[in-house]
Amino acid sequence: MDLRYTNDELAFRDEVRAFLKDNLPEEIRQKMIDGESMDKQDLVTWSRILNEKGWAVPHWPTEYGGTGWDPMRQYIFLEETQKWPAPQPLAFGVNMVGPVIYTFGNEAQKKRYLPAIANLDDWWCQGFSEPGAGSDLASLKTRAVREGDHYVVNGQKTWTTLAQYADWIFCLVRTDPDAKKQSGISFLLIDMKTPGIEVRPIVTIDGGREINEVFLTDVKVPVENLVGEENKGWDYAKFLLGNERTNIARIGMSKQRIARIRELAAKEMSSGRPLIEDERFREKLASVEIDLKALELTQLRVVAADAKRGNTGKPDPASSILKIKGSEIQQATTHLLMQVMGPHALPYHTGDADGSNELPIEPDYAATAAPGYFNFRKVSIYGGSNEIQKNIIAKAVLGL
Partner 1 sequence: MDFDLTDEQSMLKDSLDRLLKDSYGFEQRRKHMADPAGYSAEMWNAYAEMGLMALPFAEEDGGLAGTPVETMIVMESLGRALALEPYFATVILGGGALKAAGSSDQKAELIPQIADGSLKLALAHTERNSRYDLHHVETQATKDGDGWRLTGQKSVVLHGEAADRLIVVARTGGDIRDENGIGLFLIDANADGVTRRGYATQDGSRAAEISLDNVAAEALGAPENGLPALRKVVDGAIAPLAAESIGVMSAMNELTVDYLKMRKQFGVPIGAFQVLQHKAVDMYVAIEQARSITLYATMMADSDDAEARAQAMHAAKAEIGRGGRIVGENAIQLHGGVGMTMEYAVGHYFKRMTMIDTQFGDSDFHLRALARGEGLFKAA
Catalytic residues: 244
Question: Of 174 and 255, which has the nearer Cβ to partner 1?
Answer: 255
User: Is 279 near partner 1 (CB under 8 A)?
Assistant: yes
Is residue 379 within 8 Å of 245, Cβ to Cβ? no
What is the closest distance, in whole angstroms, from the C-beta atom of residue 279 to partner 1 in the complex?
A: 7
User: Is 323 near partner 1 (CB under 8 A)?
Assistant: no
User: Is 346 near partner 1 (CB under 8 A)?
Assistant: no
Strand-pair partners of 227: 187
Q: For 131, which DSSP code? A: T
Pick one of 258, 340, 366, 379: the residue that binds partner 1 (CB under 8 A): 258
Q: Which part of the chain contacts partner 1 (CB under 8 A), choosing from 102-110, 290-298, 331-339, 368-376?
A: 290-298
User: Is 300 near partner 1 (CB under 8 A)?
Assistant: yes
In 204-274, where do the E strands start and end?
211-222, 226-227, 269-270, 273-274
What is the closest distance, in whole angstroms, from the C-beta atom of residue 251 to partner 1 in the complex?
A: 10
User: Is 203 near partner 1 (CB under 8 A)?
Assistant: no
Q: For 88, which DSSP code? A: P
C-alpha distances in Å from residue 302, one per residue of 315, 325, 375: 9, 14, 28
Pick one of 91, 125, 249, 285: the residue that binds partner 1 (CB under 8 A): 285
Pick one of 146, 200, 262, 314: the residue that binds partner 1 (CB under 8 A): 262
User: Is 255 near partner 1 (CB under 8 A)?
Assistant: yes
Interface with partner 1 in residues 17-76 (CB under 8 A) = 72
- Reduced to 3 states (helix: H, G, I; strand: E, B; else coil), residue 389 is helix
Distance CA 129, CA 172 (A): 9
Pick one of 110, 209, 220, 282: the residue that binds partner 1 (CB under 8 A): 282
User: Is 8 near partner 1 (CB under 8 A)?
Assistant: no
Buried b (16+ CB within 10 A) or exposed e, 117-156: bbbbebbbbbbbbbeebbeebbebebbbeeeeebbbbbbb
Total interface residues for partner 1 by CB under 8 A: 46
245 burial via Cβ count (<10 Å: 0-12, 13-18, 19+): buried
Q: What element of type H or E holds 155?
A: strand 150-157
Distance CA 396, CA 316 (A): 10
Contacting positions for partner 1 (CB under 8 A)? 1-6, 9, 72, 255, 258-259, 262, 279, 282-283, 285-287, 289-298, 300-301, 304-305, 308, 318, 321, 324-325, 387, 390-391, 393-394, 397-400
